[in-house]
Amino acid sequence: MSDKSLVHSVYDGIEEHDNHLPNWWLFILWTSIVFSVGYWFWFHIAEAGPGQLDEYAAETAEVAKRAADNTPVSDDMLLALAQDPASLDSGKQVFQANCAACHGAQGQGLIGPNLTDANWLHGGAPMAIHRVVAEGVVAKGMPAWERTLGAERVKAVTAYLLTLKGTNAPGGKAPQGEPEQP
């Protein structure tokens, strides 16, 4: 048999042979067709799965819920959190994991200042404490924790610190800063 019988056409000296498509290519083609028909039926005809608008609505609702939960920080809000047992437990866990290395397990002060006495370096008001925890005092070695912990955990640890204030833990570091004015 001659090679010329397999030639389908010749144009500008280029021979086109009548070869079959490779099996791997045909498998991908038919799999894609079957998948697209199944996808079209599942999402557009049967509406069994969530559509794009449903997913968008769910994501928008989640963002709105998080925005509603993320109320602005105020003295009153922090004092209210200091009365909430769940928030205090969360704040204590965060304190023990991140702050106790410098401030001591009871807030009595080690490398960092004593958090249980009446003296405060940067103010003892709830918002002042929150600002120091969130933004840190880099010049004195206190890191900013808000990026690491997130806003909710910073609020919880601030609430916990408010409960430590004035407890005068034993073995505490000498008072530093100015006494808090009532």
pLDDT in tens, 62-113: 888 777 666 788 888 888 889 999 999 999 999 999 999 999 899 898 888 9
Q: In the chain, how many H helices and how many E strands?
A: 8, 4
pLDDT in tens, 26-75: 999 999 999 999 999 998 899 888 888 889 999 998 888 777 666 788 88
Q: What is the spatial distance between Cα 93 and Cα 156, in angstroms, rounded to a whole number?
A: 10
Indicate if 120 and 33 belong to the same structural domain: no
Domain containing 17 equals 3-68
Encoded tokens for 139: 């010049």
- Helix ranges (H only) for the chain are 23-40, 52-69, 75-81, 85-98, 100-103, 126-135, 146-149, 151-164
Task: Report if pTM > 0.75.
Answer: no
Indicate if 94 and 64 belong to the same structural domain: no
Indicate if 32 and 97 belong to the same structural domain: no
Backbone angles phi, psi at 144, to 5 degrees: -80, 125
Indicate if 134 and 157 belong to the same structural domain: yes
Instruction: Return the number of other C-beta atoms located less than 10 Å from residue 17's C-beta.
Output: 9
Indicate if 85 and 100 belong to the same structural domain: yes
Indicate if 64 and 81 belong to the same structural domain: no
Indicate if 41 and 105 belong to the same structural domain: no
pLDDT in tens, 150-174: 888 999 999 999 998 888 888 878 8
Out of 29, 53, 68, a domain closes at: 68
5 pLDDT higher than 80: no
Out of 37, 53, 68, a domain closes at: 68
pLDDT given for residue 1 in this prediction: 46
Out of 14, 46, 68, a domain closes at: 68
CB neighbours of 133 closer than 8 A, spacing ≥ 6? 145, 146, 154, 157, 158, 161
Indicate if 59 and 119 belong to the same structural domain: no
Number of domains in the chain: 2
Indicate if 54 and 90 belong to the same structural domain: no
Check the CA dihedral 148-152-158-164 and report its sign.
Answer: negative
CATH number at residue 111: 1.10.760.10
Indicate if 162 and 98 belong to the same structural domain: yes
Q: Which tops the pLDDT comparison, 22 or 2?
A: 22
Unique residue bearing structure tokens 């500008």: 12
